Structure 1
Amino acid sequence: MKKDIGSVLALYPTPLVVVGAMVDGKANWLLAGHVGIIGHDRVMVSLAKPHYTNKGVKENKVLSMNIVTEEMLPAASYVGKVSGAKEDKAGVFEYTTGESGAPLLTASPLTMECSVVDIYETDGFESFILKIDHTFAEESVLNDKGKVDYHSLKPVLFEMPTYEYVKTGEVLGKCLSFADQYKK
């Protein structure tokens, strides 16, 4: 028998990203774990309304989502802990600027340059619905067919109920490969 534990968000873990946005002409970085896929070319990042980064995202209508690796965790955690309204975080990471003007984090092996297509507001949060304009990946995280290889990428995952960072685990099988084992 299952126990009703209330209205609990239970879809974690999710990939951890550093959101990059220009705010008042400077690159600003924010650690985010509330991310999701809403189509093959659309993603969402949900940020608490008071975040300084939101100002730049709303003004410029662009941002970058940079996958966090284990090596990036100290700096990524730092940009999640301090506010850009109180500290200039532009120098925390080296970056380039994308076609849209979004800052693209150099240290991340996989970066998505995105444009805002909608903003969905809920109590305390602004969820930015994003079109993926460009995805930049280091050769080292691509397989021989040019697809992202998560065994090489090794993204850090964020687990909400315990606020822990976790790693990806072993492969169970190919997508839909278990269907033949189903007994009607």
Structure 2
Amino acid sequence: MGKVLWNPGTLLGPVPPALVTCGSMERPNILTVAWTGIVNTKPPMTYVSVRPERYSYPLIRSSGEFVINLTIASMVRAADFCGVKSGRDLDKFAACGLHAIPGSKVTAPVLKESPLSLECRVKDVLELGSHHMFLAEILGLDVEEGLIDKDGGLHLERAGLMGYAHGAYYALGERLGTFGYSVRKKPLKKRGRPQKE
């Protein structure tokens, strides 16, 4: 089957429908951002792209801080609501039954209901056109205790994260592999010693 060339657009998915918290504990705000991702390992860096006319934009620009909160299937209505309603008009935390808790590294609040939150400090702002990209260093992670095993390993697959693709929300499916599995050598089978008679 062949391919058809479309005009350039913002079609990429799935992406995380992240709830980004900003402002302060006294005046918290929350917005949904699908345009986010990891851009660097050392130091760990991320970004969010926000329209300048959004209520959250000056909050992030002036404080230089925000928190990216990953969402789970039970939060789908809240993620959608926070993407279409403005903090200018109402308290989205109260409207969605969500709770702001203090961050450890930033003054922006962390979303209590999120299984994994990335506390971020802005390093640069790229004014790209319709959106401005806040490039930020990840200063700390807030992880739900139930996702960490007794050896300190993270099991994010237990969280029930969701994805967003082309205007729709999806539950993430089964694991198909792990990083590097295609080149990992299989362990040799141990041969037992012959039994003495």
Work out whether the TM-score is over 0.5.
yes
**Percent sequence identity over matched residues?**
24
Contact 2:162 2:169 (8 Å CA) reproduced: yes
Provide Cα deviations, 1:29-64, integer angstroms capped at 9, x if missing partner: 001111111012001111122110011001100011
**RMSD across aligned positions (CA):** 2.2
Post-superposition, which runs of at least 4 consecutive aligned residues in structure 1 deviate over 6 A? Answer: none
What is the alpha-carbon distance in structure 2 between the residues aligned to residue 121 and residue 135 of structure 1? 27
Q: Which amino acid aligns with 1:139?
A: E
Name which of 95, 98, 115 aligns with 2:100: 95
Cα deviation, residue 24, structure 1: 11
Question: Partner residue of 1:171?
Answer: 175
Structure 2: which 5+ runs fail to align? 185-197
Q: Which amino acid aligns with 1:140?
A: G
Q: Which amino acid aligns with 2:180?
A: L
TM-score in terms of structure 2 length:
0.82
Matched position secondary structure for 1:18:
strand
What is the alpha-carbon distance in structure 2 between the residues aligned to residue 150 and residue 5 of structure 1? 35
What is the alpha-carbon distance in structure 2 between the residues aligned to residue 47 and residue 23 of structure 1? 18
Q: 1:59 to 1:90 in 2, by over 3 A?
A: farther
Contact 1:23 1:55 (8 Å CA) reproduced: no
TM-score in terms of structure 1 length:
0.87
What is the alpha-carbon distance in structure 2 between the residues aligned to residue 75 and residue 2 of structure 1? 36
Contact 2:101 2:112 (8 Å CA) reproduced: yes
What is the alpha-carbon distance in structure 2 between the residues aligned to residue 131 and residue 55 of structure 1? 19
Contact 2:17 2:79 (8 Å CA) reproduced: no
Q: Which amino acid aligns with 1:95?
A: A
Matched position secondary structure for 2:135:
strand
Matched position secondary structure for 1:58:
helix
Name which of 46, 68, 72 aligns with 1:69: 72
**Structure with more of its chain in strand, by fraction:** 1
Provide Cα deviations, 1:66-94, integer angstroms capped at 9, x if missing partner: 11111122222222221111223353421
> Aligned pair 1:150/2:156, yes or no?
yes
Matched position secondary structure for 2:6:
coil
State the aligned residue count: 179
Question: Partner residue of 2:16?
Answer: 15
Q: 1:25 to 1:58 in 2, by over 3 A?
A: farther
Matched position secondary structure for 2:83:
helix
Structure 1: which 5+ runs fail to align? none
